[in-house]
Amino acid sequence: MRVREWDPRSASDAEIRSLVETLNHVLSTDVPDDPPWQAVQVREYFAETMPGERRISWIVEDDRLPEGESTVYGHVTLLLLGDIGVLEVAVHPDLRRRGLGQQLVAVAARRAYLEGFSSLGVEAIGDTPAIAFYESLGFEREYVETRSVLTLSSVDWRSLGAMANGLGAGYRVDYYPGGPPEALLEAYAQAKLEGQDGAENDLDLRPSSSDPQRLRDSLDTLHRRGMKPYIVLAIHEATGAVAGLTEVVVPAQHPERADQYDTIVVREHRGYGIDRALKARMLFELRQAEPGLREVQTWNAQHNESMLKVNAELGFQSDRDWYEYGVDVAQLVHRLEPTD
């Protein structure tokens, strides 16, 4: 086996298909209830980044195959953003415990070190081999979230309708497939900035955009990566301010399960049923816009009891914990250097 740097833009169709097959083997082994990937806009998913960010990839392939042929048995991406590098590592389950994952981490860590980054972060799914793997390399747990999944076929749509209409007087809810209009971007960004309570120890491995230009870039990047955003906003009618928002993205790569991103209610507008109304309205719109959608997944900090309660009322079921790990790059590179 050999590890080589890999550019998804110039990769062959066979390499893309092989990568998707390996990713699906990983899913079926580690999180068997998650929907499989489809070979749709996979190049774009791994190639497109926000302005100022870069993603570098490597693959593990069989070096015995003739030139021009490739079977992808492992993959790592290194996303360089802000002051941290973010890793995603996948190794075919049949080839685990042979040092391939460690080789992938080593090559990515070395590049991060050469690029001047001092820390690396990674997400690891609870109850999977990733936990022991990263901890064995010296990664330290920094943050914990709980993933919850809603199965649309189990939704009580009548109760959901009551939640969607249970909005306090003086507010309205608007729906924007693809993203909010330009006229609302500044108010939208302000709501995200004011409504984020922050979380101690969160490594920001999935950072949220909270200024107008960053939001434009984020929405454009989502579309280019094959990830269609849906936005629902609560508007305070007296001022026109965005009082709350919720965001869902439906990826072309796994269109049966949507990803719930931020749900935010600005502090001064809390207590009017906005969070429930936003998320309930979103589910009605998704049912109409995405007939093939079966599930929605969301992540919440364990201390965010109010949102966990709202999710439970909507029908979300807690699934498993997700962990953010961090490590010092120089120490990791030294630890993974080959010894004589």
pLDDT tens digit at each of 340 positions of the chain: 889 999 999 999 999 999 999 999 999 999 999 999 999 999 999 999 999 999 999 999 987 766 666 799 999 999 999 889 999 999 999 999 999 999 999 999 999 999 999 999 999 999 999 999 999 999 999 999 999 999 999 999 999 999 999 999 999 999 999 999 999 999 999 998 886 655 455 555 555 566 889 999 999 999 999 999 999 999 999 999 999 999 999 999 999 999 999 899 999 999 999 999 999 999 999 999 999 999 999 999 888 888 899 999 999 999 999 999 999 999 999 999 876 5
For residue 306, what pLDDT is reported? 87
For residue 304, what pLDDT is reported? 85
Rg (CA), the chain: 21
Query: Smallest Cα–Cα separation from 245: which of 309, 301, 188?
Result: 188
Query: Smallest Cα–Cα separation from 158: which of 257, 245, 273, 280?
Result: 280
- Domains, the chain, ranges and CATH? 2-146+324-336 (3.40.630.30), 156-314 (3.40.630.30)
For residue 32, what pLDDT is reported? 96
Query: Is the CA virtual torsion 87, 92, 97, 99 positive or negative?
Result: negative
